[in-house]
Structure 1
Amino acid sequence: MPTPRVAMRKIKECLRLKLECDLSHERIALALGLSKGVVSKYVKRATAAGLDWPGLSAMDDNAIAAQLCMSPPAVRGERAPIDLPWVHRELRRKGVTRQLLWQEYCDANAGRLTYQYTQFCQHLHDYTASLRRSMRQLHVAGEKLFIDYAGPTLGVVNPDTGELQRAHIFVAVLGASSFTYACATPGETQIDWLRGLTQTLAFFGGVPALVVPDNPRALITQPDRYEPVLNRATQVCAEHYGMAILPARPRRPQDKAKVEVGVQVVERWILARLRHPCFFTFSALNHAIADLLTDLNARPFKKLDGSRRSWFETIDRPALMPLPAQPYEPARFKPCKVNIDYHIEVDGHYYSVPHSLVRKTVEARITDTTVEILHAGQRIASHVRSPARGRHTTVADHMPAAHRAHREWSPGRFLHWADTIGAATRQLVEHLLTERPHPEMGYRSCLGLLALARQYGDDRLEAACARAWAIGSRTRKSVQSILHNKLDQHPLPSAIAQTDWVTPDHVNLRGPTYYRDPPTTH
């Protein structure tokens, strides 16, 4: 093996000082910074080869090295090759180390000349350095999922109005296998991020240990290099799936290089192909993306064996945690203060809560279909979400007893109550409910009659209603006056009781003809 040129110059100088200047080994070692043993070794080799300084000075470095390296290197046999792509892929499995892979390499090539551990690691290092920069990070199987949105968008045309809406493309990439998912969402809101994430996990059929997004305001309440704070909806989603969500460091795209490359691949192999077709629904666009996604994941790697799909099936899928029994329904949370009418406002609609929470602060969990109200971590109410603005959704159990009792009255209930007292009461109640434009306008009068029944009894009320109807004074006040003056206890005249009031004939009564103009005389 040739001696390096710097060392060869020292060897030549060592031999010159000895053969020509006849210095001691100790002085030569001090002058050249060598040990006396090295000086002695090369002087002995030059003497054994019969070399003197005039002859050595005329030789080049290679000739001197050939003369002085008297023990030629051992002849090396061909060493067993290392399957570097396989080693690189196996390192992504959890718990697999280089030491283990080297031992397996040696066991698989027993009886053959193999590389030592140091050389094994060096070959692996050189191979890894030849790959793309984003592939140099060592990702453990099933550990990390990187998510982001692509910059370019696609258009979705409303077929009724012709309005163009931009579709934003959500991209997710698994760290170990680079298995990729993409879908279109109407925007990049909190619901869009969480819906894209839940669809990704359903597509993979499992849950990674860690999700790495950027620092979008939709997910991260407080971006921080050391202690980022997730918002409530993001934290609940992570707890539902039993995973962690840890955003990349602010302004450090290299922390999520996988998805940066994944976004670039999606833009080139999916969005570029969909730039000409016209889509009228998000469903149609997502079907087109899904078809191209199958082709993307099946494309073979350029510098590695296999494809994203084969690596996912081999490495990532076995390491993913199982999905929960119930899928997560994306939701947003909103703090609300309970109004004096025991309702809270969500998107212009009003939902009831127990009246005991009036003026207190609660939290609304809002999904596409439901509105749940939480207080002190407990669910206190749940409503079907309504798009009607300015309207109310009220549960009777949330109302105070007095309000609930008032709400429970209806024309049928008043009439049924009147029937239990008597025909005259039924007749008067029916009159009170029908004489006004709306039955509810007569509720108070009917409730007043109910109060009179509790005060005077059903029999006296029935008699008072009969007298009020007979005299044509058909109001609650008239019935109350009859009861107060005990007129209900007097018998009704037969004529009055059976017929309406009729004006009697009398000489002192002028009658309607009195006011007519007298006939004109000529």
Structure 2
Amino acid sequence: MKSGREIVEILEAYDLTGSYRAAAELAGCDHHTVARYVKLRNEGRSPQERTHRARPIDEFMDKIEELVARSGGRVRADVVHRRITAMGFTGGERTTRRAVAAVKQTWQAGRRRVFRPWIPEPGLWLQFDWGEGPRIGGRRTALWCAWLAWSRFRVVIPVFDKTLPTIVACLDATLRRLGGVPGYVLTDNEKTMTIEHVADIAVRNPEIVQVARHYGTTIRTCIPADPQSKGGSENAVKIAKADLVPTAANLLQDYRSFAELEAACREFTDHVNGRVHRETRRRPAEALLEERGRLHPLPQQPFTVAFGTTRRVNWDCTISVDGVRYSVPHELVDTRVWARFHGDELIVTAVTDTGPAEVARHPRAQPGSPSILDEHYPPRARRSDTEDRTPRANTADEAAFLALGPGAAAWLVEAGAAGVRRVRRKMAEAVALAKLHGVAAVDQALGVAALAGRFADNDVIRILAHQRDHDSEPTRASETHSLQPGTSAWAAFGTTTTGDQA
């Protein structure tokens, strides 16, 4: 195949000489080549047009075109090769692949979908979608990913489920973070949004319609199985998953708790909203300040109907549901929360300054078996009633004794457990000994006495003397030593000697 420049030179040589052979000598090619290019030019065809050569697959092209058209351009080349081989084609699979690719390109040329760029208006569209989150303790999580189309401001919230109450809580939290309500909310056709489609018309879930009416917005859904009609929320999910889900690419470690995942999501949103966006060349957080002027006012109270039934938190940080007590965080004492069952779990929701949020989740319990979680109580309140208390001085004499150190506190705990008499007098004696032998020595002696269980009179003085003379650890019997007398003396019992027999 000659280049375009060479073809032009050949045609110019022919126009100059008017002879095929003379033009061939000037252009440095064969005279048949000159004749072919001149003929193509006279017929109005492209000089670079290649002549089609007969191929063995040509007689099967009708079948290939039929298979491509029936599959909507999705049929695989290996499937086509098996079909035409059964019909008698003897060529290789590579030839089939080339033919199928050419037919697909021709078939899609007149059916290619053309998109018009979407130019969003400020304050009009909010989009959200779901992404698969990391596993926490073997349990799956989901990522709520929402963004404003104009300012590109993103909000990512981790959740355990995608039920309607969870969606309402995430939507309320998102709107309060944005500071207003957009005109439309665009999302997928899940059952929480769309019950069914009738003649391609989406029938909305009545409950989500009430939610939208409460906030003053309209719920819209994309065309089923058509992600192109949803726009950029898919990219928001992809970016969030790439940064938040632990993979070998981002080298993130597993999250030990749900609180760590929440903190990571907040850090991620602060980062992406504070950097310059590639498309708008602006920071989304700065663009949001401008877009807030076009958002509708946010209702003061969130939509709480979907959260379940209301419960008052008792002084012991519990609520009662179906006769069973469930614990909630101690910060919610004497406040109102909402409780609902989702499968075999009880979900407790509270409304805070930032909107509704899930505060507790319990497995369903039976009457008489309350569900109490230690993390809902402060560390001091988590102690069991059977645990030993830490000594706390109530008088000056007690304070003077406990001031000796941890050995004195250990002695008092052990002495109390052993039922030692005249404890206060012995405490006063220890304080007096500290003035003679030093606080550190007496505290060490008290610790040794507590460890060895020596609480008799003058035991502390003897331990002090031993420490002064030997300055070593007290000798204790090992686990293998026993004071029980052995039976070796009875080994010869019942035996007689030869002299006795005589």
Normalised to the residue count of structure 1, the TM-score between the two structures is 0.36
Structure with bigger gyration radius: 1
